[in-house]
């Protein structure tokens, strides 16, 4: 639902229905979408305690902070917010998207999301130790459903490392992060690991024993070797990694080895 005034936002939030089974209300009042084409260019604050199934805040150059008490059941999209510096420390969402929020440096400790997508955020450099991207279980029409979760970071030049102990339910994808040097020694990834166009990436931890999906390495010029006893349940895909010349006999790939 598109809004035109700040009062509209407050009224909508007070009427939001969280039960996705009530489909009419879910579609009509479950989402808040605000961008600069809706006369919000000079808005510096939003009403506290907003509540919605999905929230999108886009292209608001004067917005200084995410409103306190924000409650989002499903997806929070923050896009083109140049004044925003922090993400609320009590945030729990099924999906968080940060795009061109250049002053956001990190996520607060204890943040738990479903999927996390961070794109073109110049200062973003830190994910807290023990970060988890895990899906949520919910009930719809009498059925128990579980959402899945990915961690995707792209075009974040300040990101150099990921935290020890992180847990990603599905896929880990890092691309065009030119300061990124390596993965942590302790982590869990339930699906594919892809490192693309990270020119300073040095390689994988020696104790990386298992990749549960594909392992994709592209345009990583400093990678010279893979862990000696690595098991890959999917495919091993190597593209434009000129220094990665050989694959140890101890590496087991259940899918295909593809060199491009």
- Residue-wise pLDDT for 90-125, tens only, equals 777 888 999 999 999 998 876 667 889 999 999 999
* Entry pTM: 0.85
Q: Please give the pLDDT value at position 44.
A: 78
- Over residues 25-83, the pLDDT tens digits come to 333 346 777 776 665 556 778 888 888 888 888 888 888 998 888 888 788 999 999 99
Q: Please give the pLDDT value at position 121.
A: 98
Q: Please give the pLDDT value at position 3.
A: 46
- Over residues 147-196, the pLDDT tens digits come to 568 999 999 999 999 999 999 999 999 999 999 999 999 999 999 999 99
Q: Please give the pLDDT value at position 4.
A: 47
Top-ranked range on mean pLDDT: pick from 16-20, 83-87, 143-147: 83-87
DSSP the chain: -B--SHHHHHHHHHH----TTSHHHHHHHSEEEEEGGGT-TT-----TT-EEEEEEEES-TT--SPPTT-EEEEEEEEES-TT-----TT-EEEEEEEES-TT--BPPTT-EEEEEEEES-TT--B--TT-EE---EEEETTEEEE----EEEES-TT--B--TTEEESS-EEEES-TT--B--SSEEESS-EEEES-TT--B--TT--EESS-EEEES-TT-----TT-EESS-EEEES-TT-----TT-EESS-EEE-
Contact in structure between 86 and 106 (CB atoms under 8 Å):
no
Residue 252, both tokens: 């087991």
Say how far apart CA 83 and CA 81 lie, in whole Å.
Answer: 6
């Amino acid at each position: 639902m598109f809004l035109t005034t700040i009062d509209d936002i407050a009224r909508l939030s007070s009427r939001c229905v969280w039960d996705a089974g009530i489909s009419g209300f879910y579609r009509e009042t479950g989402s808040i979408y605000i961008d600069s084409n809706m006369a919000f260019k000079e808005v510096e604050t939003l009403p506290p305690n907003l509540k919605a199934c999905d929230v999108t805040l886009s292209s608001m150059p004067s917005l200084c902070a995410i409103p306190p008490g924000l409650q989002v059941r499903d997806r929070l999209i923050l896009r083109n917010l140049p004044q925003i510096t922090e993400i609320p420390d009590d945030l729990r969402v099924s999906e968080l998207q940060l795009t061109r929020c250049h002053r956001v440096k990190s996520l607060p400790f204890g943040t738990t999301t479903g999927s996390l997508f961070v794109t073109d955020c110049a200062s973003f450099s830190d994910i807290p130790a023990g970060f988890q991207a895990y899906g949520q279980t919910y009930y719809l029409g009498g059925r128990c459903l579980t959402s899945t979760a990915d961690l995707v970071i792209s075009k974040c030049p300040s990101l150099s490392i990921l935290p020890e102990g992180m847990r990603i339910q599905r896929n880990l994808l890092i691309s065009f992060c030119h300061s990124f040097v390596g993965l942590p020694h302790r982590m869990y990834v339930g699906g594919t690991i892809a490192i693309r166009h990270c020119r300073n990436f040095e390689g994988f931890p020696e104790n990386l024993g298992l990749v549960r999906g594909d392992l994709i390495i592209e345009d990583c010029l400093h990678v010279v070797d893979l862990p000696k006893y690595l098991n890959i349940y999917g495919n091993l895909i190597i593209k434009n990694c000129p220094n990665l010349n050989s694959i140890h006999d101890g590496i087991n790939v259940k899918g295909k080895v593809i060199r491009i």
